[in-house]
A and B are shown apart, each in its own frame.
Chain A
Amino acid sequence: MSAPAVSADAQPFRFGDLPRRLLDNFRSGNLGGAPILIALAIIVVYFGFTADNFFTAFNFNNIITQMAGMTLLAYGVTFVLLIGEIDLSIAYVSGLAAVVAANLQLPDGRHLNGYLCIAAAALTGVAIGAFQGSFVALIGVPSFVVTLAGYLMWQGVIIESVQKRGAIIIQDETINNTANYFFSDKGGWIVGIVLSAVYVIAVLIGLWGRRRAGVSLGEPWRVAARLLVPPAGILGVVAICNHDPRRGMPLALLIIIGFAFILTFLAKRTTFGRHVYAVGGNAEAARRAGINVARIRILVFMLSGFMAAIGGVVLAARLNSVDLNAGGGSLLIDAIAAAVIGGTSLFGGRGEVRNALFGALVIKTVENGLDTQGRGAGVIFIVTGAILLFAVTLDAVARRLQAKAGR
């Protein structure tokens, strides 16, 4: 532990060092996104060989549209987990937001523009988040209890407001498109290329700024990976989507990837995100450093409500309706599990928004695979539960390894 000088990157990179470094990272509990990607690969290969019609572009597009709504909820709850809290209300907040949007678009009712309906739904989610977050941040009621109360209350509101009609049919194109619109092959490529270009340019601007300031850019292979892997991933996914004979890339995919980028930026590159991690890591230290901890907590619950609302609209759009079951089923558990399987710690302070996407992918791929194999809901619950337990165990072990490596 004695280097001559302080610098951002200590030694030059040599390929020969890579295995040792990876091993060091694993030993010190710094697992990053590795376990989730390995798990995903194993799952895909397994079902690819054992389930008919699983390893097809058509089914890939199915999985994307099935997971989209839940993934958006998982993004929001990732932020809540990052500050060391929990939000159990998200599923019914999403249901309630969908009810709001569905009610406003009714042709025999308000018949509002689709975008306005979505905005109203989002506002509902934000307001509920502010309401619940205030109890947590200002009064100090445990978030588990506040959001458990929300879980009951918002479910009740959904039942009360949908009961009269039974179900509300959504006819608005804009809303329905969020889950059911597929780009043409050409459109998919354009979206993929534009998204990749925007990303690469943003990264290059950042690198240029560092270079101008005379700060080290980091290890070359890391820079290359940061520049190339996400665009390669995006374009690869577009290629798979376009392989589907009937449909192209779903709009839902653009929505979940777009939010992944925006929220990762928010978490990693803004003062707000920095303070979220600080509050999750050591709230007392954050408070003493002058961070308004209560404000951060409320904002995070508002963000969680917002993402739940957007997710709720996408989920309702997939069914073209909302009914008494809006926000029910395994939605809540799936969303939280996706965040946790993605490596976000329940103890706060550690986790990545983008890994919630991979967590959601794991859950929905397993569900889809088992379903394709013709297994029932029972097996799906058992397997998902086992994966969740494994992921949380990994988190606990990683924490202990980190504590050991720390001193």
Chain B
Amino acid sequence: MSHAQVSDKPLLELRDITKTFGSVQALTDVDFEVRPAEVMALVGDNGAGKSTLIKCVAGIHGIDSGQIWFDGREVSIHNPKDSAKLGIEVVYQDLALCDNLDVVQNMYLGREEHDWFQRLREPPMEIKTSETLKSLAVTTIKSIRQPVASLSGGQRQSVAVARAVMWNSRLVILDEPTAALGVAQTEQVLALVKRLAEQGLSVVLISHNLHDIFEVAHRITVLRLGRNVGVYERGETTQQEVVHAITAGSPTKVAGIPSTAEAEA
């Protein structure tokens, strides 16, 4: 396995994950790992199994076989609560924000602070929201009391990411965070991703946009047709090589083993 040679112990490690839906083999013996404070990109063509893999980690799908290791011990994830308890938060592509609610209300959605009378305690929620946004250097939001509907796409993404980060999470999974954004908004979100890693969080970034990935990811895992193609160090590979791996698979690579020198790690 690849982690034998690396210096950092992985935070999340998946071994030989297999998942079938009826007669469809969605994942076959897939290995995947993320180290602490690392941005790991997960790429592959449509149907490669990226979403399925993520949903297994998020507890939306159960795995058929294989092991999930988190922070050095084997864990079992059966539902979203299990993964949240481990500190894994997923920001889905549709963000799951309520447009009619303001930023604070969305950040605390479903986990509102309240007293014995179920009365909302707004001041602490405002303070924590404000602090979280500041710590992520999200400064473009005019007021945390404005409805999310009035925010730009990048700001909405920032709110969704901030919400994921606020709950002492250790691993944040971002599903296509820049797919619907313009150039400036994309830069905003990518800067946010970098800051998450700087703060010690691990990030899994699913994206089709290789330019984005080469800007922020430390390593790149490529899946094809539900199998590993390879793991690439950002500094040791090229976009062409990754594109080739995504589209044709790469016969020269063995699943799970980085193609080039590990010195970078």
Q: Tell me the A residues contacting B by CB distance below 8 Å.
A: 1-10, 28, 209-210, 212-215, 269-272, 274-275, 277-278, 280-282, 284-286, 288-291, 349-350, 402-403, 405-407
**Restricting to B115-143, which residues have a CB under 8 Å from any CB of A?**
117-120, 122-124, 126-127, 130, 133-134, 138-143
Q: Are A285 and B118 in contact (CB-based, < 8 A)?
A: no
Q: Which residues of chain B come closer than 8 Å to A289, judged between CB atoms? A: 96, 109-111
Q: Are A214 and B134 in contact (CB-based, < 8 A)?
A: no
- When chains A and B are docked, how far (Å) is the Cα of A305 from the Cα of B253? 66
Q: Which residues of chain A come closer than 8 Å to B209, judged between CB atoms? A: none
Q: Are B139 and A271 in contact (CB-based, < 8 A)?
A: no
> B151 at the A/B interface (Cβ < 8 Å)?
yes
Q: Are B127 and A402 in contact (CB-based, < 8 A)?
A: no
Q: Which residues of chain A come closer than 8 Å to B94, judged between CB atoms? A: 284
B: number of interface residues (CB 8 Å): 42
Q: Are B127 and A215 in contact (CB-based, < 8 A)?
A: yes
B69-113 interface mask toward A, CB cutoff 8 Å, 1 = contact, 0 = none?
Answer: 000000000001100000000001011111111000100011110
Closest-CB distance, A273 to chain B (whole angstroms): 8
Q: Which residues of chain A come closer than 8 Å to B152, judged between CB atoms? A: 1, 407
- When chains A and B are docked, how far (Å) is the Cα of A349 from the Cα of B142? 23
- When chains A and B are docked, how far (Å) is the Cα of A318 from the Cα of B192? 63
Q: Are B143 and A215 in contact (CB-based, < 8 A)?
A: no
Q: Are B139 and A278 in contact (CB-based, < 8 A)?
A: no
Closest-CB distance, A267 to chain B (whole angstroms): 11
Q: Are B130 and A4 in contact (CB-based, < 8 A)?
A: no
Closest-CB distance, B99 to chain A (whole angstroms): 6
A402 (CB) vs chain B CBs: closest residue: B149
A406 (CB) vs chain B CBs: closest residue: B149
B90 (CB) vs chain A CBs: closest residue: A288
Q: Are A4 and B142 in contact (CB-based, < 8 A)?
A: no
> B153 at the A/B interface (Cβ < 8 Å)?
yes
Q: Are B143 and A8 in contact (CB-based, < 8 A)?
A: yes
Q: Are B98 and A278 in contact (CB-based, < 8 A)?
A: yes
Provide 23 A-B residue pairs closer than 8 Å at the C-beta atoms, listed in order of the A residue.
A1-B142, A2-B139, A6-B139, A6-B141, A8-B126, A8-B143, A213-B123, A269-B120, A270-B117, A270-B118, A271-B120, A275-B110, A277-B98, A277-B101, A281-B100, A281-B101, A285-B98, A289-B109, A290-B110, A350-B100, A406-B99, A406-B149, A406-B151
Q: Are A405 and B120 in contact (CB-based, < 8 A)?
A: no
Q: A281-B100, A289-B96, A402-B149 are in contact. Are A6 and B120 (CB under 8 A)?
A: no
Q: Are A280 and B126 in contact (CB-based, < 8 A)?
A: no
Q: A209-B123, A289-B109, A289-B110 are in contact. Are A407 and B97 (CB under 8 A)?
A: no
9 nearest interchain CB pairs? A289-B110, A213-B123, A281-B98, A281-B100, A349-B100, A285-B96, A290-B110, A289-B109, A215-B123
